[in-house]
Chain A
Amino acid sequence: MVASKTEAGRVQLPAGKPRVVVVRTKKALLKNGHDAGYDADCGALRAMLDAGLVALSGQKDASAALAKYFHPGERVGLKINGLAGRKAATHVELVDELSILLGKANIEGRQQIVFDRFARDLTASGFGGQLRRYRCVGNDEAGHEEDLVQMASSASRLSRVLTTQVDAVLNLPILKQHMLAGMTGALKNNFGCIHNPNKMHLDGCDPYIAEVNAVPAIRDKQRLVIMDALRPVVDNGPAYQPGMGEVANVLIFATDLVAADTIGLGILEELRAKRGLPTLARAGMAPSYLATASKMGLGVSDRAGIDTVTIEV
């Protein structure tokens, strides 16, 4: 089962199991010997995007798949995670390839807005200083709404990029271990839509991550997740630490953010086990917010309840 679009354009979770597509390839990253350490192979990324989007959507090709999730003329926010800089951010090459596909789906470049908390993070992660086909905006440049959004445990002001500049969000997290939250993926990526994530890192970010994702202005714009697990940070995250990036050559596709993170967590645990690292639960860092999000009806956190499709390209 895949997600379907309502008349308003909002993706509604299907009644059955949510599908998560895991696309693996042999080599999506090439060692460059300097700077970020790796360059992404655009050809490999394109093949992964094609395969993942088709498998998720059931459409004939990637642009048709994207057209299923985004209306022509809509302004699409590409929410990347650029906090850790070039070495552990959503790969700019992935966004470049996706941007081309969005163009083919009649989402023009000027309607594609890459955003994150700070303009400096966008620059540091490779999204600034160059002429790109899409716009890049930091929340610090666009500002936040004056009015507060009330949640059960906290309150926040929303990014004006989210509220005024985009109609839909394509969530593009990078998979990382996180010393406070356990892991960071699609759900935590939405901390980049509020003004005060610094207030939400207590108690393993639980229930804060779930509550932020339940805010209608955030939840209703989420259409698609493409998680960058090309080179996850397996320990000591979320900042980049030398030696903590593990090449996995994986992209994860989903419309259910909780399911995407649940499958991402499994991959993270595999990579940690390969290095002899304890499970996050044993390390006292289990991301309990996944179950909370599931309880709040935001998606599925039980692996048995997820239709996981793995594709090798």
Chain B
Amino acid sequence: MLSRRDFFLSCGGAGCALAAGVSAGSVLLPARGAFAAQAPRAYPARFWKKLPNKRIECELCPKHCKVEDRERGFCGVRENRDGEYVTLVWGQPCAVHVDPIEKKPLFHFRPGSRAFSIATAGCNLECKCCQNWDISQSKPEDVDFRFMPPEEVVRSAKEYDACVTFTYSEPIVFLEYAIDTAKAARKAGVRATMVTGGSGEAEPMKEVLKYLDAVKVDLKGFTEDYYRRMCKGKLEPVLKTLEVIRASGVWLELVHLCVPGQNDSEPEILAMCRWVKTHLGADVPVHFTRFHPEYQMKNVAPTPNATLVRCREIGLAEGLRFVYTGNVPGLAGENTSCPKCGKVVVARRGFELEELHIKAGRCAFCGTTIPGVWS
């Protein structure tokens, strides 16, 4: 009989990974159809209120969906059942992988470590360039999933000496599961991290942040027009979430996926970098990553390297201390340099850690503190 670890490895595929898609660079990869089709189980949802006539209003994210009896919200994973709101994804991940932490990307969080990564179906945005659209834009019954309660997630993460990471789709839509899992992880001494679009309400975010060790937020653009047109979302709530995360003290990194002609203009990048420095501080790492044609944007070419380099230059010129390029292995901008002595303290290539010169959170060459979670 296969052990759980053997099972994961037997259906795994480690590929040359460029993008942060589900299958890229993963150690384990449950194939579509690996789990029998089944009806999702329902669990009580949190963060909602009752309205007259059995309607409910979801308070999890800024969309505040008003949901009729027997209907679901925008995310497709939370359902009104006779005036009570339930989640159909608690404990039911459809993607379970072990990734390098650099894939998230979290560059200032335990370099070279692993992330036991889980995702459920559903998302509260619909980004035209989504790399994981086949799960993020699906309902629970449209995907293969397995039942994996929080304790099992934590046990598996421990087995791989990994942190637990909520990622790929949008953890905010499975927040009850994420909170319970992160809580169990904290109890077991396992770190927990989240990769999110940040489109959540403050109270639910504060609740999950109590149990998280790091968060990476996709700041997808810096105009309301981009969020509305390309993501069916809004920018302003994301900015609020970023401030909430920063105020919580949980380690934060940002990714900006540069979509050619859509969100990569110099004024937009400049405005974004200025906002980050003013509202979040110069120590928050910002990653400018390459877009790959996916989902509804297969007709757009990948981001030119020159764009990423230029974005990085703008960020550094604005005073951000840790600005990276991503999704292009070998392009300048993957390494972490000490802001004081300028020496490379973390050398990377793609998702691989090549050198680490940080001791007790300080540059091994000059002793300057390098912000992040290093042990």
Q: In the docked arrangement, what's the CA distance between A196 and B75, Å?
A: 9
Q: Is the CB of B53 within 8 A of A241?
A: yes
Central interface residue in B54, B71, B73, by most chain A CB within 10 Å: B71
Q: Is the CB of B295 within 8 A of A148?
A: yes
Interface assignment of A239: CB less than 8 Å from any CB of chain B: yes
Known: A199-B137, A201-B74. A239 touches B232 (CB 8 A): no
With a cutoff of 8 Å between Cβ atoms, the chain A residues found around residue B68 in the complex are: 238-239
Q: How many A-B residue pairs have CB under 8 A?
A: 51
Is B268 among interface residues, defined by CB-CB distance under 8 A? no
The contact string, 1 if C-beta is below 8 Å from chain B, for chain A 173-191, is 0000001000000000000
CB atoms of B126 and A154 under 8 A apart: yes
Contact B142 A236 (CB under 8 A): no
How distant is the Cα of A239 from the Cα of B72 in the complex, in angstroms? Answer: 12
Are the C-beta atoms of A154 and B76 separated by less than 8 Å?
no
8 Å CB contacts to A: which residues of B68-82? Answer: 68-76
Asked, given contacts A144-B142, A154-B126, whether A83 binds B70 with beta carbons under 8 Å apart, the answer is: yes
Contact flags B255-289 to A (C-beta < 8 A → 1, else 0):
00000000000000000000000000000000000
Does A164 sit within 8 A of B, measured CB to CB?
Answer: no
**Residues 140-154 of A at the B interface (beta carbon under 8 Å):** 140, 144, 148, 150, 154
Whole-angstrom CA separation of A241 from B54 in the bound complex: 9
Contacts of A241 in B (CB 8 A): 53
Residues of B within 8 A of A195 (CB): 138-139, 142
Q: Determine the distance from Cα of A148 to Cα of B55 in the docked complex, in whole angstroms.
A: 32
Chain B residue with minimal CB distance to A151?
B296
Would you call B70 and A155 a contact (CB within 8 A)? no
Question: Closest B-chain residue to A144, C-beta based?
Answer: B142
Docked CA distance A154–B133 (Å) = 12
Chain B nearest Cβ from A303, distance in angstroms = 30
Q: Are B296 and A154 touching (Cβ within 8 A)?
A: yes
Contact indicator B139/A155 (Cβ below 8 Å): no
Inter-subunit contact B53/A199 (CB<8 Å): no
Can you list 23 A-B contacts with CB-CB less than 8 angstroms, sorted by A residue number? A84-B70, A144-B142, A148-B133, A154-B126, A155-B128, A155-B133, A155-B295, A155-B296, A195-B138, A195-B139, A195-B142, A196-B76, A196-B137, A198-B72, A198-B74, A198-B75, A198-B76, A199-B74, A199-B126, A201-B74, A202-B232, A239-B68, A239-B69
